[in-house]
Amino acid sequence: MTTGQGDNRPGSIAFAGYAAKDDKGTVNVFAINCSHLGCSVNLNADKHRFECPCHGSIFDIAGDVIHGPAIYPLAHLGWKQGTTPDEIIVGGLQMKGIG
């Protein structure tokens, strides 16, 4: 993780993540860990948000808290653009289909 607070700290390892474009078209890559107590958040694509099934925290598509108990946003993962527009590289792993 490159950013984070609460249960997520910069330098911590995330075992999964989400790549999502926000309303401005910016690609964000988030750790799957909720910033409250580290449960795995789920993407609710219909509502364009992330939801934590453990304690009910809700985050918008940009990773910011909509509803607590979480008080910190989702942690970002370091990434770079791949060789094609629909490819990114996260921690040395290629991900396709973000376009």
- Residue-range domains of the chain with CATH: 17-96 (2.102.10.10)
Q: Are 17 and 77 in contact (CB under 8 A)?
A: yes
- The residues that bridge with 79 in the sheet, in sequence order, are 90
How is residue 95 written in tokens? 């991900």
Q: How far, in Å, CA of 38 to CA of 7, rounded?
A: 6
Question: If DSSP codes are grouped into helix, strand and coil, which group holds residue 65?
Answer: strand
- pLDDT score, position 22: 82
- How do residues 51-91 score in pLDDT, each as one tens digit? 999 999 999 999 999 999 999 999 988 888 888 878 888 87
Q: Does 14 have pLDDT greater than 80?
A: no
Q: Among 13-17, 22-26, 52-56, 74-78, where is mean pLDDT lowest?
A: 13-17
